[in-house]
Each structure stands twice: as C-alpha cells, then as structure tokens.
Structure 1
Amino acid sequence: MSMSVLSTKKLSASQKELLGHAQIPVVDYDAITITFKDFTIDQQCPNLIFTSQNTVNAYLGQRALSPHSQNALPKAFCVGEKTKALLEENGLEVVEMTHYGKELAQILVEKYKSESFLLLCGNKRRHEIPNALAQHHIAFKEVQLYNNTPNPVAFKDNFKAVLFFSPSGVQSYTAANAIKESIAICIGTTTAEEAQKHSKHIVIAAKPTLESVLEKAIETLTAKRIN
C-alpha cells in the first residue's frame, strides 16, 4: 500500500500543496453533493443559528434577494471557526461560536433561554441543538436551506489513509468502498463515531477544521514512513 491518501472533500491547490510538500500523493472528490433549496427567512427573528458554512452560503444568497436593513441585522450563533469567519466577513455579529453542535446547544440553554431563534441547517442536520432547545422550551423554528446528498464513488486503489469531514461523508464513502486497512482520519468526534462502525484504524484531528485534518494526515503518515 502506497502512502497516498483519499480526501472525501475537494481540496484547494494550496491545501494539496501541504500534502505535496510532505511527499504524500492525494486523490480528492466530493463524497457529498450540496444543493440549495427554496426557502424563506423570517426577517423579524433576531437570532440565527448557523450549523455549517453551507448554511451561511445559502443564507447569503437569499439575503441578497431580500436583504435585512443594515440597522436590523440578526445576531449569529454558529458551529465552526470557518463558519464564524464567513459570517463576520459578510457583516454579521457572531455572538457565540463552538466547534460542535452539542457545545453550542449547552451555551444556548445556559445563557439564552429567553431568546428566540431560527435554526438554519441542511436536511441531514444532527439532533443536539433542536432537541436541547425543545427540551428547555426555548422558542425556535427550523429552516432547511440545502440538501445533503450522498455521492458514492468506488475506488480500486488502496489508500494509506482516507480523510473524512462529516458522518454523512463516511456513509457515502462506505456505500461503495470498504475502509479495510486504511487509516480513517476524521475531522471530529461525531465523524469518528461513524467511521468506527467500519474501521478500528481511527485518528481524530486536533481541531475540527479541514487544515487540521491535513496536518494530522501528514503527522500520521510521516510517522508511519519513519517507522
């Protein structure tokens, strides 16, 4: 088995260079297809919860069609550093950011019980946030902005590692492939939980970001090469 890796998300040229500098060949594809849905946003809701960068991009497209007045921009609560950065780049104030939905749900319950929210998500969103809000009688409405559709592709090559960025990405990959002896390098714990159904060779990135997954891949495979 070569030291090549498979990324289940398309990488930018600079991201591929990180692996290239470490002499790690990479094949990349999108295990998930994202398609935006038709939706409407309640312009009066003061607080929006963004579960991913996809929700931000979908929201921004809709906002361009029916923008909030600049005096009444909603406040944002989000999951992920990249999600936060994208929101701030587009003029939204991010009140709270966590790496995982479970952590954000806990903060909302502890600090914002009297607020009302719009939960912006995809069709395969996790349950931690809506369940916590409902259990603690916090007012919210859910709006699905996009569909998350598996894109299973069969690969003949044996990869030293497969990079996973979501539980649905694991499900899509394993619908057409077995992980076998490949190392599953996962963006976070929820993705790792899904990968553990298919492999015992699991490594979790230090932070739930794409770059951290690449760093963990380089660290793991360089150690394997030395040993």
Structure 2
Amino acid sequence: MQHIRILSAKKLQPNQRQYLLNAGFAVTEADFIGIKHKDFAARDIAENLIFTSQNAVKSVTEKCGMELLADKKLFCVGSKTKALLERAGCRVEAAADYAEVLAAIITKKYRHEAFTFFSGNLRRDTLPEMLKEAGVALNETEVYETIITPHEINAVPDGILFFSPSGVEGFLKENAIGNAVCFCIGTTTAQVLKDITDNIVIANKPSVENVVIQCINYYK
C-alpha cells in the first residue's frame, strides 16, 4: 500500500490525515481555495436564517456576534454547519445534507414565513430558486468570498480528495486529473468532473470523514 499516493484538495484535520496514513497511503495536502469574510450590512434580517456552510456562520458571528442568531429559527445544510451552530448554543430548526432537500423542507412546512439566506459569492442557485419558485419570501446577504488559490503538484497522485466545485477548479488551473481516482464529497463536486474523468467515487454522506473512508475502502 505504500505506493498509493493521495492528494487532499484541502488541509485535513490531524485525525482525518491519520486515518489515511494508518491505511498505508502517502498523503499530500493543499488548500486550492481560500475564504475571505466580507463586510456586510445586517439589515432586513428575517426571523428565519439559512446557512449552507460553516464559512457563512463564522462570517456572520464574527461581524454581528451571536446575538443576531438569538431567538431566530435556524436552517442549515451539512452536519458540520449544524454542529457549529449547536456548539454555539443555537437551536437548529431544520437541517439537511443537500440544499435541495432543505429547500423542499422549507417549502413544505414554512412556505408562509420569511427567510434571510447568508451566502458566499460562489453559492449555487438551487436553494434560492426553489424557494422563490414556491413563493417563499427570501432576501440574501453575501457574507464571504471564496478565492481560488492554485498550486502545482509535482508528485502525480493515485487518488484525489475533492470537497467542493471550487476546489476542483483550483486544482485544475495548474494540474491535470490524469488517471487519478477522484473521491468527491457530493454530487455537485462530482458534476464538475464528469466531462474530465470517469474515475469518480462519491461519498455516501457529504462529510470529509466519509470521503476519507471511501478512499480507504476503494484501495483495500
């Protein structure tokens, strides 16, 4: 197994990296995107708040403090986003692994309420379009920016762990997929690669840990 070279398209937590090392892989990590918190005006904030990433939560709480979230109903995408909010003492009204699932929950149970969506500059259209089509009152505030940070990778990897479409974009600016197997956190990330390679494995659950597990299982 020593010859299997794995590249992670973001810096991993020490325990996540250790799982790969324990499996006998050689591991390289590089952040192909960076995050910049944006200045924004906290105006017209609805009673229901939507977060689709941890970055949005961090941007809002750094700018406005936790008091902005107090007494609000919180809706989020991703288990890590939900956990971050709950660790801060917030109660999450509804959460889902994918934006379209959360949008379906909102349009079914909360369609007559008003929402504020805290987003990044590269956010997908899925959630706001689904809500607007259903007549849900929605305003959007962009609170962070995703910046592509390309790096050239010298050693050709056997497998690449991808965690976002923008991470794929950052990698491809100075590197090629070649014959590498691409392990993707979700279908949106995999979609970016579909015209480039057929060697795609999608995580069962959209989490970093599950991407790591899929990679280990693939090479067992």
Q: TM-score range, shorter-chain basis? A: over 0.9
- Corresponding residue for residue 20 of structure 1: 21
Asked if 1 retains the 8 angstrom alpha-carbon contact of 2:34 and 2:148, the reply is: yes
| % same residue | 38
Instruction: Please say which of residues 210-219 and 128-137 is displaced more in the overlay.
Output: 128-137
SS at match of 1:67: helix
**Counterpart for residue 132 of structure 2:** 134
Query: Relative to 1, partners in 2 of residues 1:210 and 1:199: Cα closer, same or farther, differing over 3 Å?
Result: same
Per-residue CA shift, 1:167-211, capped at 9, x if unaligned?
111111112111010000000111111121221100011110000
Secondary structure at the counterpart of residue 50 of structure 2: strand
User: Could you tell me how far apart the structure 2 residues matched to 1:35 and 1:188 are?
Assistant: 23
Q: Structure 1 residue 41: deviation in Å?
A: 2.3
Q: Which moved more, 1:36-45 or 1:95-104?
A: 36-45
Q: What are the ranges of 5 or more consecutive residues in structure 1 without an aligned counterpart? A: 223-227
The CA deviation at 1:42 is 3.6
For 1:92 and 1:217, the matched residues in 2 are separated by: 34
Match of 2:176 among 157, 175, 178: 178
Q: Taking structure 1 as the reference length, what is the TM-score of the superposition?
A: 0.92
Separation of aligned partners in 1, 2:11 and 2:196? 22
Change (3 A) 1:91 1:40: farther
Q: CA RMSD in A?
A: 1.6
> Does residue 1:45 correspond to 2:46, yes or no?
yes
SS of the equivalent of 2:155 reads coil
Question: Does the 8 A contact of 1:2 with 1:159 survive in 2?
Answer: no
- Partner SS, residue 89 of structure 2: coil
> How many Å separate the matches in 1 of 2:213 and 2:51?
26
What TM-score comes out, normalization by structure 2 length?
0.95
SS in 1 for 2:20: helix
Take 2:45 and 2:162, find their aligned partners in 1: how far apart are those partners? 37
- Alpha-carbon distance in 2 for matches of 1:88, 1:43: 24
- Residues matched between the structures, number: 219
Classify the secondary structure of the residue corresponding to 2:67: coil
Whether contact under 8 Å (2:5, 2:25) holds in the other structure is: yes
- The DSSP-based 3-state class of the residue aligned with 2:215 is helix
Q: 1:131 to 1:43 in 2, by over 3 A?
A: closer
Asked if the contact 2:35–2:145 (Cα under 8 Å) also holds between the matched residues in 1, the reply is yes
1:168 pairs with one of 166, 169, 177: 166
Asked if structure 2 preserves the Cα contact closer than 8 Å seen for 1:32 and 1:172, the reply is yes
Instruction: Give the conservation status (yes or no) of the 8 Å contact 2:3–2:25.
Output: no
| Runs of 4+ with >4 A deviation | none
Name the counterpart of 2:32: 31
Q: Which runs of 5+ in 2 are unaligned?
A: none
